A and B are shown apart, each in its own frame.
Chain A
Amino acid sequence: DAKTTQPTSMDCAEGRAANLPCNHSTISGNEYVYWYRQIHSQGPQYIIHGLKNNETNEMASLIITEDRKSSTLILPHATLRDTAVYYCIVRNSGGYQKVTFGTGTKLQVIP
């Protein structure tokens, strides 16, 4: 699976959009971009994933650059409950293979 690079931490004001970047310059054509988050002392939670088109769901939007070497997770109106560690993962569409979560970005939403 391709390696990802994320900033260690970010702050975001409550009510503003949180934009979390991820670099995956070695991504291959059949690899998807997945985002998870882990709120303190809880299990990780799936957020969104995409291949090359931008995606949106009730939690977030995922913007993938045209060359697919980077992506941005957008939380449109951050709340205090969005404070968590956000993991960007790239992998192929196969099922259960080993996945590396990395250290993620610690997002702190500030009142």
Chain B
Amino acid sequence: ETGVTQTPRHLVMGMTNKKSLKCEQHLGHNAMYWYKQSAKKPLELMFVYNFKEQTENNSVPSRFSPECPNSSHLFLHLHTLQPEDSALYLCASSPGVAGTNRRWEQYFGPGTRLTVT
């Protein structure tokens, strides 16, 4: 049990669909992250939120739209995706910025396996 949950675990969607991925952390953390992991590629950081404010957008296409209503929840809204967007999408959280070196220690969820047809 990592304390970070993601739903759904698997998602198949067409290119014209709109769907959302959900992440919830039960660790009292202040920072949350979205990562993309394509087959045989390293993890790619997509977005970072700290205290509900977006602090990093790693040149992600606008068809991916994040939302962070509070420090415990993070969404990734998807629309008009392409087949190359098929990947494992991972959510993570960490205690937050400043302070001790443990602030960056990230806890990951199990991921959502997305297939775009």
**Taking the complex as formed, is A74 at the interface, i.e. its CB lies under 8 A from any CB of chain B?**
no
Q: Closest approach, in angstroms, between the C-beta of A73 and any C-beta of chain B?
A: 16
Scan A68-111; emit 1 where CB is below 8 A from any B CB, else 0. 00000000000000000000000101111111111110000000
A43 and B92 contact, CB distance less than 8 A: yes
B100 and A93 contact, CB distance less than 8 A: yes
A96 and B42 contact, CB distance less than 8 A: no
B90 and A43 contact, CB distance less than 8 A: yes
**Taking the complex as formed, is B31 at the interface, i.e. its CB lies under 8 A from any CB of chain A?**
yes
Q: How many residues of chain B have a CB within 8 Å of chain A?
A: 34
Scan B91-117; emit 1 where CB is below 8 A from any A CB, else 0. 110111111110111111111010000
Which of B's residues lie within 8 Å of A, judged by CB?
2, 4, 31, 33, 42-43, 45, 48, 50, 55-56, 58, 88, 90-92, 94-101, 103-111, 113
List of B residues within 8 angstroms of A45 by Cβ = 2, 108
Task: Assess A93 versus B45: contact at CB under 8 Å? Given A43-B108, A98-B56.
Answer: no
A46 and B103 contact, CB distance less than 8 A: no
In terms of DSSP, what is the predominant structure of the interface of chain A? loop
Task: Assess A95 versus B105: contact at CB under 8 Å? Given A101-B43, A103-B42.
Answer: no
